[in-house]
Amino acid sequence: MKKAAVASKAADGVGAGPGALPVPLYEHVKRQIAEAILIGDMPPGTVLPGEVALANQYGVAVGTIRRALADLTAGGMLMRRRKTGTVVTGRASQHGLSFFFQYFRLLGADGSLLHSEAEVLSVTTRAAERDEAALFAVADGEPLLHLHRIRRVAGAPVLHSRISMVGSRVPGFAREPKKVPALIYRHLLEAYGIRIAAVREKVTAEVATKEDRKLLGLPSPSAVLVIDEEAYDQTGALAILSQHRATTAQHYYSNEIR
């Protein structure tokens, strides 16, 4: 099953959108193994097959498997045990950017990782203001793609975000809210070869605006957590500029340094 999936991606040139670099095959393998670990298909203590067996399973070269395993080991998801082989550690970071498909920092009061659902409220294009243009290193007035999105946990709104990207870097990006991929980081990697490699955040607290109260169902007055975020790609260029506004009445924000 995985062999066919990875092989077809290689044949179809996933990540080779207009002007994009192709995504290395080891990134696809790494993501599939990481997902299997995070969703519990490979629980802690699982011993992975040998490199040759994995290469056959995923339909890739042994060197590709070796690179994927090395990255996962460096990230703490796997460890090498003498005489045993490669083992799932159970110490996977909940926030590691290499596993961007699960990037969400609001946790339950008990510390549990929450499953959230995203809904895109609008997709618009507007000219970059001077400060935005400077951050993106583009000309003033460069068209920016602007998303407004809300996240819900168990049906309750907990966070809404405004997300900006340079339009020319993501040609063909969906303009209809219902067609925008739920996992934007993953989509940027697979469709455009843009891999989010670093994120810088500024966290503050503010009085909830009228829009915050409406979208998040808050009384007046209320406070919201504000996260101004810059996400950089593998070349060090700013790829996404975002502001997230969240209620922490039933959740808390978690950051992790590893």
What one-character-per-residue DSSP string does 160-216 give? EEEEEEEGGGSTT---SGGGS-S-HHHHHHHHH---EEEEEEEEEEEEPPHHHHHHH
**pLDDT of res. 39:** 64
Question: Tens digits of per-residue pLDDT, 77-130?
Answer: 899 998 889 999 866 555 554 444 455 678 888 877 677 889 999 999 999 999
Regions of the chain short of the pLDDT cut 50 = 1-5, 7-21, 97-101
If we measure between CA atoms, which residue out of 117, 45, 106 comes closest to residue 81? Answer: 45
Quote the pLDDT of residue 41.
82
**Cα–Cα distance, 68 to 62 (Å, whole number):** 10
- Kind and range of the H or E run holding 228: strand 223-233
Torsion of CA 59, 14, 191, 105, to 10 degrees: 0
For residue 253, the model assigns a pLDDT of 87
* 251-253 and 238-246 beta bridge pairing: unpaired
pLDDT score for 257: 58
pLDDT of residue 144: 98
> Residue 94: its pLDDT value, please?
52
What does the pLDDT read at residue 237?
94
CA distance 206 to 224: 6
